Structure 1
Amino acid sequence: MPSPATGAAVDTHAHVFRQGLALADVRRHTPDHDATPAEYLALLDAHGLSHGVLVQPSFLGTDNSHMLDALRAAPGRLRGVAVVEPGIAPAALQALAGSGVVGIRLNLIGLPVPDLGLPLWQTLLARVNALGWHVEVHLPASRLPDILPGLLAAQCRVVVDHFGRPDPAQGVSDPGFQYLLRQADSGRVWVKLSAPYRNWQAAACAASGRQATQRLLEAYTAERLMWGSDWPHTEHRHLASYPSATQWLDAWIDDPEQRRIVLADTPLQLFQFQGDTP
C-alpha cells in the first residue's frame, strides 16, 4: 500500500478485545483469541498507516470500556465508534466524545431495524448530530432501504459498512446495492471498502471488490469512500490477513490520487483527526 503524499493514512475499521471480557447475552460470535491494542498499533506501523478507527465489536454489546481504554492510550492516533443504548444520558455521550468516540454503530445483522421515529431515537440522533458524529450501519444491502431513510430524515451523517453487504449471488446487481448507489445524491452517506470476504468467496475478493469499488467511485467519488482492514477479521481469520487487506485496496483502485483521498483526506475529516499527530 503506497503511503499518501501527506504522510497520513487511516484504517477506518478494526476491533480490539481479549478473552475474559463480559460478553453480550445475544451475540453471533464468541472470540477464542485476543486482539490487543498493542498488536493493532504495531500493524499500523508495519503498514505505514498513521491512524486507526476502532469499532465496538457486537459481542461486547454496549460495554465500550475496553475500546475506550485503547483510545485513551493513543489519543492522537485512534478514534472510536461505540455501541450505545438509545436512552443513553447526554453526560455519557459527552464522556465517550472526550475519550475519542466520533460515532455510534447500529449492527443489525440478524436483528430488527429499530423504529427511528420514536422519541427516544430521535433524541439520540439529534445528540449524535450535535456532537458532529456519524451513524455507522451494518446490515445486508437488501435492508438498507429500511434504515437509511430514517437516518437521512434525521439529518445524520451515515457510514455504511463493508461495501453495503451486497448479496454474494447478485453482487453489484443486488437491488439493495443499487439502492446504496442512489443514496450518493444525499451527500450524507459514506461507504467503507472493507471485509470483502463477508460478501464474496475468498478467491473473488480482489475482482468482485474491484467491481463494487468502481461502481461506488462512479456514484460517490473518492471523497465519500474509505478503506478499512476489518482486523482481526473475526470469524474469517482463515481468509484474510492485514497484508491481504492492504493489497486488496491496491487491486480495487488504480489511481494514486483516488487512493490518497480514500486513505487520508476523507477519513481524516470524517473521524475528526484534524490537528492531531500520532
Structure 2
Amino acid sequence: MSSESSSESGSEPRPEFTKTPGWLDWYENPSRPAFALPPGTVDTHCHVFGPGDVFPFAPERKYTPCDASADQLFALRDHLGVSRNVIVQATCHGADNSAMVDAVRASGGRARGIATVPPDVTDAELRRLHEAGVRGVRFNFLKRLVSSAPKDDLAVIARKIAPLGWHVVLYFEGAELAELDTFFGSLPTPLVVDHLGRPDVGKPVGGPEFGRFLRFVERGDVWVKVSCPERLTLTGPAALDGERDAYRDVVPFAREVVDEFPDSVLWGTDWPHPNLTDHMPDDGLLVDHVPHVARTAEQRHKLLVANPTRLYWPGEDT
C-alpha cells in the first residue's frame, strides 16, 4: 500500500468492521492454472476491499466484506500469470475511490481504475482521477447493491467524463435490458458491459432475451466482459471426469459472444468475488475456463491481450 494513504490515519482510532453474516472469503490458495495465460494478459475486472482500518467502508454500503488488499490482488496476479489489472471501484466503498486509486498507484503502471463518482463531481477531481490512472466510471443497476440508479444523474456524469475519453461500465441483469436499452444508447461514451450482461443461463442461448443482448452489442462501441461464470452458473463448479472445465452451462453464452464479437470482448476474474452465497471459486479454475470459451489462439489473444490493451493502454503494441 502506498505510504500516502496509510499515513493519513496517524494515531487516530481505526474503525472496526464486522463482515456481513455468511460472507464467503476469497480463495486463499488458488490452484496453478493448466492453461498458460499469454504475456500481456489483462484482468479487466477485479476489486480491492479496504483494508477497512486504512480505507473505511462507506456508511451507506449494502454489505461489509472481508479485507482484500492491493498486495493480495497483486500476489494473485503474479500467481495466475496476469500482466496487468483493471481495478473496479467496489460498492462497499461508495464514491470514495481512495482504496482503488491507492491500488492503481501502487501497481507501478500495471493497473487502470474504474471509479464511482457523484453527478456534482468537478472537472478538477476527474482530472486528478485520470492522472492517477482511472479510465471510466461504473453505473450499477442491481437493486441488491444500490438503492437507486437515477438516469438523469448518470447522464450528467457520462457527459462530464466523455471529454476525457473515458467509458461507462454497465452492471445490470439480462432481463432488465429491455427497459434500459434506450438510456444506454443515449450515453455519449463507449460502453463496457459486466459479466456477459448477466444472462439467465437456464434459458436458451438462442432465445429472445440473449438475442436482445447480442443485438445491443452489435450496434457498436460496446465491449463485453466474458467473466464471472461462477456468478452465472446454475450447475455449479463441478468438473466432469477430472477435467478443469467447470461452469459448463455458461460456456455456450460466452462462446456466442466471443465468436460474434472477437474484437470487443474482455476477460476478468472478479476477485475477490463479492456477494457470492453458494461457493467461492478457485481462481486457477477460472483461468482454465478461458480456452473453453475462446477456442482459438487468435480469439484468446484478442480477449486477453489485444482488446484490453487497446481500451486501457491505447497505442501500445500487442
Instruction: With the length of structure 2 as denominator, give the TM-score of the two structures.
Output: 0.78
Give, in whole Å, the separation in 1 of the partners of 2:123 and 2:180.
24
The one-letter amino acid paired with 2:308 is P
Q: Which residue of 1 aligns with 2:162?
A: 129
CA deviation profile, 1:237-265 (whole Å, cap 9, x unmatched) = 83302201101112222211100100001
State whether residues 201 and 249 of structure 2, in contact with CA within 8 Å, keep that contact through their aligned partners in structure 1: no
Does structure 1 residue 88 correspond to structure 2 residue 88?
Answer: no
Q: 1:230/1:121 Cα in 2 relative to 1: closer, same or farther (>3 Å)?
A: closer
Q: Which residue of 2 aligns with 1:24?
A: 58
Q: Which residue of 2 aligns with 1:239?
A: 280
Does structure 1 residue 104 correspond to structure 2 residue 104?
Answer: no
State whether residues 230 and 247 of structure 2, in contact with CA within 8 Å, keep that contact through their aligned partners in structure 1: no
Give, in whole Å, the separation in 1 of the partners of 2:56 and 2:209.
35
State whether residues 233 and 241 of structure 1, in contact with CA within 8 Å, keep that contact through their aligned partners in structure 2: no
* CA radius of gyration, larger in: 2
Give, in whole Å, the separation in 1 of the partners of 2:204 and 2:115.
29
Give, in whole Å, the separation in 2 of the partners of 1:207 and 1:103.
31
- Per-residue deviation at 1:112? 6.9
Give, in whole Å, the separation in 2 of the partners of 1:190 and 1:97.
20
Give, in whole Å, the separation in 1 of the partners of 2:86 and 2:58.
22
Give, in whole Å, the separation in 2 of the partners of 1:26 and 1:190.
30
Deviates more, 1:120-129 or 1:94-103: 120-129
Q: Which residue of 2 aligns with 1:230?
A: 270
Give, in whole Å, the separation in 2 of the partners of 1:168 and 1:28.
26
Q: 1:44/1:203 Cα in 2 relative to 1: closer, same or farther (>3 Å)?
A: closer
Q: Which residue of 2 aligns with 1:167?
A: 200
The one-letter amino acid paired with 1:188 is D
Q: Which residue of 1 aligns with 2:31?
A: none
State whether residues 12 and 52 of structure 1, in contact with CA within 8 Å, keep that contact through their aligned partners in structure 2: yes
Report the 3-state secondary structure (helix = DSSP H, G, I; strand = E; otherwise coil) of the residue aligned with 1:187: coil
Report the 3-state secondary structure (helix = DSSP H, G, I; strand = E; otherwise coil) of the residue aligned with 1:167: coil
Give, in whole Å, the separation in 2 of the partners of 1:87 and 1:262.
35
5+ residue gaps, structure 2, are 1-34, 239-245
Report the 3-state secondary structure (helix = DSSP H, G, I; strand = E; otherwise coil) of the residue aligned with 1:232: coil
5+ residue gaps, structure 1, are none
The one-letter amino acid paired with 1:251 is H
Report the 3-state secondary structure (helix = DSSP H, G, I; strand = E; otherwise coil) of the residue aligned with 1:207: coil
Q: 1:275/1:34 Cα in 2 relative to 1: closer, same or farther (>3 Å)?
A: same
- Per-residue deviation at 1:40? 1.2
More helix by share: 1
Q: Which residue of 2 aligns with 1:200?
A: 233
How high is the sequence identity, in percent, across the aligned residues?
Answer: 33
Q: 1:60/1:88 Cα in 2 relative to 1: closer, same or farther (>3 Å)?
A: same
Give, in whole Å, the separation in 2 of the partners of 1:123 and 1:76.
30
Does structure 1 residue 3 correspond to structure 2 residue 43?
Answer: no
Report the 3-state secondary structure (helix = DSSP H, G, I; strand = E; otherwise coil) of the residue aligned with 1:172: coil
Q: 1:147/1:26 Cα in 2 relative to 1: closer, same or farther (>3 Å)?
A: farther
Q: Which residue of 1 aligns with 2:14?
A: none
CA deviation profile, 1:102-131 (whole Å, cap 9, x unmatched) = 000012211576453x3x544421222211
Report the 3-state secondary structure (helix = DSSP H, G, I; strand = E; otherwise coil) of the residue aligned with 2:217: helix
State whether residues 109 and 139 of structure 1, in contact with CA within 8 Å, keep that contact through their aligned partners in structure 2: yes
